[in-house]
Structure formats: structure tokens, C-alpha cells
Structure 1
Amino acid sequence: MSAPVSASRVALLVLEDGRIFRGEPFGAIGENLGEAVFTTGMTGYQETLTDPSYHRQIVVQTAPQIGNTGWNDEDDESARVQVAGYVVRDPARRPSSWRSRRALGEVLAEQGVVGVAGVDTRAVVRHLRERGAMRAGVFSGDALAPDGDLVERVLASPWMEGADLYGAVTTAEPYVVAAHGEARFRVAALDVGIKSNTPRMLAARGIEVHVLPADTSIDQIVDLGADGFFVSNGPGDPATADVPVALTRAVLERGIPTFGICFGNQILARALGRGTYKMRYGHRGINIPVVEHATGRVAITSQNHGFAVEGEAGERFDTPFGPAVITHTCPNDGCVEGLAGLDFPAFSVQFHPEAAAGPHDAADLFDRFVDLMAAHPAPRL
């Protein structure tokens, strides 16, 4: 349970440009620094809070009422809440769901996550859309430092651009998620911030999933006898992910079918020689359209990324492994949402086909990975 909130306690969201939003404490009392971003999802706050891709980010929830369904024991995407802070307008006073086991505020307090409630989140989002995602701090307590001092603390915090964060969320030890029924394939899944639902989606298709730490070597992949290689979502700047990029290149050199999601899309792109860049405010939510150019099909997708791959819709480009193509883009802003090898077995998407809170328009990409492994058996050395 969170500590009782006294009448004198206040909570602040402080942005690096000096804008301050005042509210009430929600969750733990204290302070934390991170990057302020917003998510447009109307549902799925539990999956959002436990998504490792949100590590070191202060999440502003655009949906006004949060916590109505409480917190259950099934929907976590990792072992803990990952966000650096949480900003909401109207937290539920009492959750109502047969699946709920505790209130959202209790979980935030237990895990030391500083939140701010009672904020006009529409104003915050408009500010971030106009100025871009930026460094920020959440502060709560009985007696806070002067506003100017808090802004200085935020300005002294590190930027997200250049942040090397995947090592903070990867698994310490390998583990296996068994296939449902008879195992058809064995996949080495590189954990640079993997969500719990991803191995479940793979296992449901008869895949034995070996989830591996981010510093796994190519020899370990080969010794595993993997039929495929998967690169997960994760936090931070892909330009810092030299070790996963090098491993992905080594996997491609050996002709092992490869599939990447989100951060994995950026890692594959960099392994192919493409650049990445920091977006103005990113894509975060469960209502973002994506066009697949080969078919013209539009999928509504779940996304969470502040970096993107350089390129344009339908662009073909040369790589050390053969030609590749930009397969998907977002019609809202032209952002690259997927790429694939034309003569080598690899593809990736920027969005989340494993989306536990929905939508499920893109779940068939896991079937495509199965088809890719069937059509291109990994060489045995």
C-alpha cells in the first residue's frame, strides 16, 4: 500500500525546457529522472508499465482514466514495472475487474515508481508533440526544492540519444520456453528487452524458444543448433547496440533465418548498413496504422519506439548479404516500419505483432517466421 498522502504533499512533472505540471502523488513518494513520452493506448496500462522498452522513460498516459481494472497476475510483460515515472489525469479510486488482485497505485508504491496524478495530460501531450520528447523528472513529497533547482536536476540528467540501456533489462541467464505440442523448430531469441508474450506467441506455433542474454556469442547460437534467430524489442539508442549488431551480422553470414521486432528491427537494419535516428516524439500506443507495400494491406498496430530506421517506402538497398527492401511504413509520417532481405532469409518490423493488449492485426508475422525457417533450413556446421 502507498503511504497516506498528506495535505501538504505535492507532485510535479518537471520538463527540461522549464515547463512544470503540478498534481498529486500517485504511487511512491520520491523523485526520478528520465525521458518524458506519451502513449495513446486506451487500454493495456499494465503491459505498458512492465514493457522493458519503457526503461528510463516517464510515461504520460493520454487516456484520462487509468487503473479502472486494477492489476492482475497474468498480464505483466516482464518481472517488474520498468518505467521511470508515471503521469495520469484521473486514477481509479477503486478498481473493478474479476481479474484484479490489487490496485495500480499499490503496485507503483511497492516497486518505488513515482507517479503524478491530477495532471491535465492533454496539455502535457500537446506540449511534447510541439517540442518533442525531452528529459524530465517526477518529484513528490512534503517539501520539494525550488522549481529552478528541480529544472537544473533535469538538465543535468543524461539524454536518451546515445543511451545504452538494453544491458539493464536483458536476462541474466538463458531460459527455455517449451513449444506447445511437438517442437517443430528451435529459435535463439536474443533478449535486449523481450516482452513475456513474445516467447508465448512463438511457442504456440511449435517453436522451442531459447531466450538468451544480450552478450551471447555466435558460437553459442551455432552450438544450440538454432533453426532461427529472433531479436527482441528493447530500450535505448540502437546506435549503442554494437554487440547485438555484430552478433546479428554473424548470424546472417551463416544463413540462419532472422526475425526482429522494434529494437530488433533497428538492430537488423544497422547490421545491414542502414542508419537510425531519434524521432521527434516517437510512436507509442495501440492504434498506429502501418502499410505493407507488397500487398497494400493496412494493419492497426501496437508500437513503442523513439528511434527509427532511415529509408523510404519501397526503397531497395544493397547490403553485405544481398539486396533488401523497405517493406512497411507508417502513413502518418512515412516512418520505416519494416524491412526484409530479398535474397537472404531475414525480415523485421518496427511494431509489435505480439501485442498482448491488442490489436492483433499483425500476429501472422510469427507464421511468416515459421514459413521462413521451413523454406531456408539453417546450415548445420
Structure 2
Amino acid sequence: MKKQLILEDGTVLVGTGFGSDTNTIGEVVFNTGMTGYQEILSDPSYCGQIVTLTYPLIGNYGINRDDFESITPAIQGFIVKEAADFPSNWRNELSIQEYFQMKNIPGIAGIDTRKLTRIIRKYGTLKGAICGMEEDVDTVIEKLRATQLRNDQVKQVSTKTPYPSPGRGSRVVLVDFGMKHGILRELNKRNCDVIVVPYHTTAEEIISLSPDGVMLSNGPGDPKDVPEAIEMIKGILGKVPLFGICLGHQLFALACGANTEKMKFGHRGSNHPVKDLATGKVAITSQNHGYTVEDDSIEGTQLEVTHIALNDGTIEGLKHKEVPAFTVQYHPEASPGPEDANYLFDRFLDMIEAEKSEGAELCQNVQI
């Protein structure tokens, strides 16, 4: 069945629909990863977005039970050059066609994804629609330009009630802003006693759980749309060690007096080089974010930049100068091939142990 992809700038691309036959509207972004489409489509950080995959063949190894980052996908749609009809892999259980139909996700194949990516890189992210050929183009464009994308994505994807993931080790309260399951998996691997709480949990409620550390998860959208989380972070800073990832990193920066801004087209992919300023080492990282911490806003705060992106020089890591807290913009729980950034979870637990055993002074000596 023919479908059309219509962008708010007037661009129209025609392809073949797959998955759900419903129409959809969202922010059109692109991801440069060569693999990992299952993780991408199930990542809650893509809530409200239509994702373009730049790699030309998607679905060739199918869908399996183990690689999901959430139970219910929040993605609005998928744009690919070619969707594989007959996947081949020993773990394969479903084709992407079958999975997209099951989860009511619309997709469009046969699109010149290189052309589409160049448009986004030139003009920035655009609102777009995947719809049937019967839809009038001018009417859809007018609707796109009038549409205000929702700003409650975190509320949509966060857990509604707290729940435990028991372990015998350090107790970590994990604040769910749209948490990838990989974060929970890494904490469980280290035997942490994890309590996952909703995005609007207050500082007082978190402290009442007697945590040894607090983790701020990834999530979708603009960090300034979650003011209650900013206030919560202010309330726990200095009281318990803190580690933030992606949206958690941006919220931490805002809580410490820095500022964030929307990027032209963001970082989305599994091959982004990031430099650790303390060691000089470069890690190949997985990233998915459309906002960044402003360089100039760090001055005058108690924050120190620890990591930078080598592609564009944007801030990729921060630590607090006075209290045990650090964050990264990228995803250390992901495995984009290497597991270069996985050590950050161990650093977090080292910080917790230092805080528990010898107090905050020793904790500051842990290298971030």
C-alpha cells in the first residue's frame, strides 16, 4: 500500500506502508546506527517522534524477546529505505512488519533516507506526517504547521507507581523519566537494591526510602518541561550520591543553575565519539537527545565539564565541585558494539561506597 511522508516545509516523499495502516504526526528525526533498531523503536526517549533510520536495510535480524528497552513502545513511526520481509537470525521471533502491526506502529519504506537526512541536517528537525495517498497534501501541511507537539512526554512514559527490583547490595532510587531497561539491568547486574519511582517523586519521598544513591534516567523532550524534577534534584544534592543519564544530565544542569537549549538536529546514533577530559581517552557511545547544556551557562555554577563530544564540542558530562554527583549526556548502559562507557556504573557504586564508609570528603576523591 502506497503512503506518503509529508513534512511541514512542503517536502513530500512517497513510499510503501508497513506495520499499522494508521496515520501519524510527530517530530521527524534521524538515527545513524547500523544496528539496534529494536532498541531504538522501544526506547521511551523517542516518545512523540518519527524516526528515520539512515542504514539502508532494517529488520534483517528480526525482533526477539531480549532486546527491548520498554514494554510498550512510545515511538510515533518509522521511516526506512528497505524493510526486510524475511529476517534471518537464530534469536528471531517476529518480523518488524508483524511487530509493528501488533503494537500499532505505522512505518514507511522505500524512502530516500539520505535525502531526508540531508533536509533535517540543513533545516533542523521538522514536524511530519505518515499518511495515506488519499490525504490532501496542502491540508496536511497546514495541519502540521498548526500542530503544537505535546510537552508531557515524560508523564506519558514514566511509571505511574513505585516498584522494587530487589538486590542485596546498595540501595539505589532510580527516577524514571522514560527509563531504558538497560539502566535497570546494569544496576541489577551489580546486585543493587533498586526502587524505581515516578518522575514527579519529591525529594522528601526519595530521602524517606533511605537510598545509598539516586539515579536520574533518560527520557524524552525538553528538560524545562519537568520543573518538578528540577526542584527534586535541588532537594537531594549533597544528601546522597547522584548519577544522571541523558535527560537526567540536563535536569541536573538546570538544578545547578546552568541552562539547556534545543539542538538543530540532535545526536541519535551508536557511533558518537566522546572524550573524557580527565584521562584523554575517547569512548564510542550511543546517544539519543535533542537538547544540550549550554557551554556559557556553566560559568558561575558549581559544575565542571568532564566529557565533550568530539563531533561538535558539545558538553557530554558534568560533575559537581562540592557534592558527590556526576552525569553524562550519552548512554553508558548501551552496547553500540564496544562497551566503552559501562565503567560509569562502577564509578557510581565506588562513590556510594566512599560516601558510606568515609564520608563526603573521601567521596570527592573518586575520579569522575
Deviations, residues 326-345 of structure 1 (Å, cap 9, x unaligned): 11111111111010012210
Corresponding position of 1:301: 285
Deviation at 1:217, TM superposition (A): 1.8
- For the residue of structure 2 that corresponds to 1:268, the secondary structure is helix
How do residues 153-168 of structure 1 correspond to structure 2 at under 5 angstroms? 153-159=143-149, 163-168=151-156
Show the counterpart of 1:103: 95
Once the two structures are superposed, the pairs formed by residues 129-140 of structure 1 within 5 Å of their partners are 129-140=121-132
**Residue 376 in 1 paired to residue 355 in 2?**
yes
Tell me the secondary structure at the aligned position of residue 28 of structure 2: strand
- For the 8 Å contact 1:256–1:377, the answer to whether it is kept is no
Seq. identity, %: 42
1:168-247 aligned at under 5 Å gives the runs: 168-179=156-167, 183-247=168-232
1:360 aligns with 2:348: no
Residue 275 of structure 1 aligns with which residue? 259
Instruction: Indicate if the aligned counterparts of 2:23 and 2:106 stay in contact, CA closer than 8 A.
Output: yes
Distance 2:205 2:17 in 1: 47
The structure carrying a bigger helix percent of its residues is 2
Query: Could you say which residue in structure 2 is the equivalent of 1:83?
Result: 75
Describe the SS at the equivalent of 1:125: helix
Task: Tell me the CA shift for residue 324 of structure 1.
Answer: 2.0
How many angstroms does 1:159 deviate by? 4.2
How far is 1:357 from its partner?
Answer: 4.8
**1:377 Cα deviation from its structure 2 partner:** 3.0
Paired residue for 2:66, among 55, 71, 74? 74
User: SS state of the match for residue 208, structure 2?
Assistant: helix
One-letter amino acid of the counterpart of residue 261, structure 2: Y
Residues 177 and 200 in structure 1, CA contact (< 8 A), matched pair in contact too: no
C-alpha distance in 1 between matches for 2:298 and 2:52 = 37
Moved over 4 A (4+): none
Structure 2: runs of 5+ lacking an equivalent: 360-368
TM-score, reference length from structure 1: 0.91
Question: For residues 149 and 70 of structure 2, what CA distance do their matches in structure 1 show?
Answer: 24
For 1:337, the equivalent position in structure 2 comes to 316
TM-score, scaled to structure 2: 0.94
Structure 1 residues 126 and 316: CA distance shift in structure 2, 3 A: closer
Q: Match of 1:122, as an amino acid? A: R
Aligned Cα root-mean-square deviation (Å):
1.6
What amino acid is aligned across from residue 356 of structure 2 in structure 1? P
Question: Out of 326, 342, 352, which is 1:347 matched to?
Answer: 326
Shift of 1:359: 3.7
Q: Tell me whether 1:48 sits opposite 2:40 in the alignment.
A: yes
- The 1-side partners of 2:56 and 2:118 are apart by 14
Q: Which residue of 2 aligns with 1:328?
A: 307
Structure 1 counterpart SS, 2:161: coil
Letter in 2 for 1:352: H
C-alpha separation in 1, matches of 2:106 and 2:338: 29
Q: CA deviation at 1:165?
A: 1.4
Cα offset for 1:206?
2.4
For 1:38 and 1:188, locate their aligned partners in 2 and report how far apart those are by CA, in whole Å: 32
Q: Which residue of 2 aligns with 1:255?
A: 239
Look up the match of 1:152. Answer: 142
How far the C-alpha of 1:316 sits from its partner, in A, is 6.3
Q: Corresponding residue for 2:365?
A: none
Kindly provide the CA deviation profile for residues 133-169 of structure 1, in whole angstroms up to 9, marking residues without a partner as x.
11111113xx522111111121122147xx2310100
- Aligned pair in 2 of structure 1 residues 356, 300: CA closer, same or farther (>3 Å)? closer
Matched residue count: 358
Distance in 2 separating the partners of 1:37 and 1:154: 15
Per the TM alignment, residue 318 of structure 1 is displaced from its structure 2 partner at its CA by 3.9
